[in-house]
């Protein structure tokens, strides 16, 4: 599997606190069949990109040499999880933060006080910058939980979605699970990733989480979300137009 979203680099954000913990997360991922990890530290749209990239790359190369020393068969890539708010209209060079220097940019939004109209404007702005937005954990936002149709609309515009494995494994709330399940089941989501922060908080034990997933998600879709689609991103190939069914709010219990 390929983990497209992780906070595995130490002392970059609220993720791994030490190089040792970063190595342990790589080892845990490897036991769970994660062969490729993309390190995506948090970045604010108006942050200092040069400084961010130099710190990130330095920590990634430290981690790479530790992985080798410890004989962990994991390949490490870099990107960022870009926090998008109104500052997006003043930022430039976000293209430099894409996953593995592809056209795909992982983005997140505020959990509070945001309307779909704002999100829509941000997405337009990202497309106009020439990047393809991948929305991280859409199932965690209240504005999507209460408006599934917005996701249908964004998907039709070519926006991509990454679910957190923990949501599908019911480690988060009921609303998160229901939206994640509906998106995975209907093929609207393109990726599942761990969003790993530490061994204690949102770890990357995805093998364990897979056992907790609803078992009726099409295995072909599962393979796409965990392996094929993330590889397309790493290769910077074009994502095939997704064929999905409209999602709708339903009750699973």
Question: Of 176, 182, 195, 205, which one interacts with Fe ion (CB under 5 A)?
Answer: 195
Binding to Fe ion by residue 3, rule CB under 5 A?
Answer: no
Reference 70, options 11, 14, 22; nearest CA is 22
Tell me the closest approach of the beta carbon of residue 2 to Fe ion, in angstroms.
16
Question: What is the DSSP code (8-state) at residue 154?
Answer: H
How many residues of this chain interact with Fe ion, rule: CB under 5 A? 2
Cα torsion 198, 203, 205, 208 to 10°: value is: 150
By beta-carbon proximity to Fe ion, the closer residue of 195 and 205 is 195
Tell me the closest approach of the beta carbon of residue 203 to Fe ion, in angstroms.
13
Tell me the closest approach of the beta carbon of residue 130 to Fe ion, in angstroms.
23
By beta-carbon proximity to Fe ion, the closer residue of 122 and 185 is 122
In the bound complex, which residue of the shown chain has the CB atom lying closest to Fe ion? 195
Residue 31 sits at φ, ψ, to 5 deg, of -60, -30
By beta-carbon proximity to Fe ion, the closer residue of 125 and 195 is 195
Tell me the closest approach of the beta carbon of residue 195 to Fe ion, in angstroms.
4
Reference 123, options 93, 154, 97; nearest CA is 154
Query: Helix 174-186 vs helix 148-156: angle between axes, to the nearest 10 degrees?
Result: 40
By beta-carbon proximity to Fe ion, the closer residue of 24 and 197 is 197
Residues in the chain: 253
Tell me the closest approach of the beta carbon of residue 5 to Fe ion, in angstroms.
6
By beta-carbon proximity to Fe ion, the closer residue of 139 and 195 is 195
172 to 23, 74, 118, 232: CA distances (angstroms): 25, 27, 25, 28
Tokens 């991103």 found at: 233
User: Binding to Fe ion (CB under 5 A): which residues in 32-91?
Assistant: 81
215 to 134, 163, 184: CA distances (angstroms): 25, 16, 11
By beta-carbon proximity to Fe ion, the closer residue of 204 and 229 is 204
Tell me the closest approach of the beta carbon of residue 83 to Fe ion, in angstroms.
10
Residue 235 sits at φ, ψ, to 5 deg, of -80, -10
Stretch that binds Fe ion, among 63-71, 142-150, 193-201, 211-219 (CB under 5 A): 193-201
Residue 230, both tokens:
């993330």
CA–CA separation, 67 and 227 (whole Å): 21
By beta-carbon proximity to Fe ion, the closer residue of 119 and 187 is 119
Tell me the closest approach of the beta carbon of residue 241 to Fe ion, in angstroms.
27
Per CB under 5 A, residues contacting Fe ion are 81, 195
């Amino acid at each position: 599997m390929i983990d497209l979203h992780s906070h595995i680099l130490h002392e970059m954000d609220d993720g791994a606190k030490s190089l040792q913990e970063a190595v342990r997360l790589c080892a845990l991922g490897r036991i769970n069949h994660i062969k490729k990890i993309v390190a995506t530290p948090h970045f604010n749209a108006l942050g200092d990109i040069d400084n961010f990239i130099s710190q990130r790359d330095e920590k990634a190369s430290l981690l790479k040499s530790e992985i080798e020393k410890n004989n962990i068969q994991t390949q490490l890539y870099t990107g960022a999880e870009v926090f998008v708010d109104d500052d997006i209209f003043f930022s430039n060079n976000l293209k430099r933060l894409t996953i593995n220097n592809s056209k795909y940019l992982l983005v997140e939004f505020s959990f509070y006080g945001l309307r779909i109209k704002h999100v829509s404007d941000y997405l337009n702005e990202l497309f106009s910058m020439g990047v393809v937005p991948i929305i991280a954990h859409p199932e965690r936002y209240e504005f999507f939980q209460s408006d599934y149709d917005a996701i249908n609309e964004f998907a039709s515009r070519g926006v991509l979605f990454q679910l957190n494995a923990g949501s599908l494994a019911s480690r988060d709330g009921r609303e998160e699970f229901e939206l994640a399940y509906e998106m995975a089941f209907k093929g609207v989501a393109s990726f599942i990733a761990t969003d790993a922060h530490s061994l204690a908080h949102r770890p990357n034990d995805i093998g364990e989480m897979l056992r907790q997933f609803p078992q009726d998600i099409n295995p072909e879709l599962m393979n796409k979300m965990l392996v094929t689609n993330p590889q397309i991103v790493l290769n910077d190939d074009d994502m095939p137009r997704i064929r999905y069914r409209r999602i709708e709010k339903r009750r699973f219990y």
